[in-house]
Amino acid sequence: MATGSSPRYAIYYSPEPGSPLDAFGRSWFGGSPPTATKLSAKRIAELSESSRRYGFHGTLKPPFGLNPATTLNSLLDAAHVFARTLAPIEIPPLELAIIGKFIALTPVTQSAALEKLSAACVRAFEAFRVPLSDEQLESYKLNRLTVHQEQMLEHWGYPYVMEEFRFHISVTDRIDDSHERDEVMTALETLAAPVLGKAIVVRDLTVFGQAGVDEPMVAIERIPFGRGK
């Protein structure tokens, strides 16, 4: 929900470089189309345009404009302090799921440890978040939010946090055509086979930044749990 050229930041889980999950993300978002589908590379790019722009990640603290009383350096310092308090956690095995009409990797079961980590991230970096404008709030509310989701939006700047949180790694945008969505799912099941059914360990968090609404989210710094600078 960035506006104009205002930068935004976020705290994400991002796969460890060189891991099978990282290899899958790079192949899907940037490689040639899987042989299991007739979809062209161009069509795959169209169906994942927004997901690619936001990066291959699982959200812990959703994107936020930076409070003008703070700085990026102070955000990074706080992220180091926060990460030192954490220990690695294991995410249950991953599966491909349809959420709404987009496809994402999600844990096969809920994870109390993961939900606790996300809630802690939301709280820990709240002082760095600039409040949403009335226009941004109204834009979110067009999504037919529940009463509780509206409360989360107004308190934390995003409706799908705390009890509304569902960890996922988006691999497509919304696909309205059910036949095309099924074709994409079939292709993804083949391409993602090395990571499906496999638990992953979260050992660090990554601070991401976005220069403006049409710019990509890019990793600024990966910060390991349990250690300082």
Structural domain boundaries enclosing 219: 8-223
pLDDT of residue 229: 45
**Is 214 among the domain residues?**
yes
**Is 112 among the domain residues?**
yes
**Is 228 among the domain residues?**
no
pLDDT of residue 2: 43
pLDDT of residue 36: 61
Give the domain CATH number at 176. 3.90.1140.10
pLDDT of residue 1: 39
**Is 160 among the domain residues?**
yes
How far is residue 63's CA from residue 12's CA, in Å, rounded to a whole number?
9
* C-beta atoms surrounding 211 within 10 Å: 14
Q: Are strands 102-107 and 204-210 parallel, antiparallel or unpaired?
A: unpaired
**Is 174 among the domain residues?**
yes
Is residue 144 helix, strand or coil? Answer: coil
Q: Mean pLDDT, 10 residues at a time, over the chain (229 residues)?
A: 69 94 88 66 86 90 93 96 95 93 93 94 94 80 83 86 91 91 90 92 95 88 81
pLDDT of residue 136: 79
How far is residue 126's CA from residue 69's CA, in Å, rounded to a whole number?
13
**Is 2 among the domain residues?**
no
User: How many CA atoms lie less than 13 Å away from 152 in the CB half-sphere?
Assistant: 19
Q: 91-129: per-residue pLDDT in tens? A: 999 999 999 899 999 999 989 999 999 999 999 999 999
**Is 71 among the domain residues?**
yes
pLDDT of residue 160: 84
CB of 25 within 8 A of CB of 212?
A: no
**Is 1 among the domain residues?**
no
Number of domains within the chain: 1
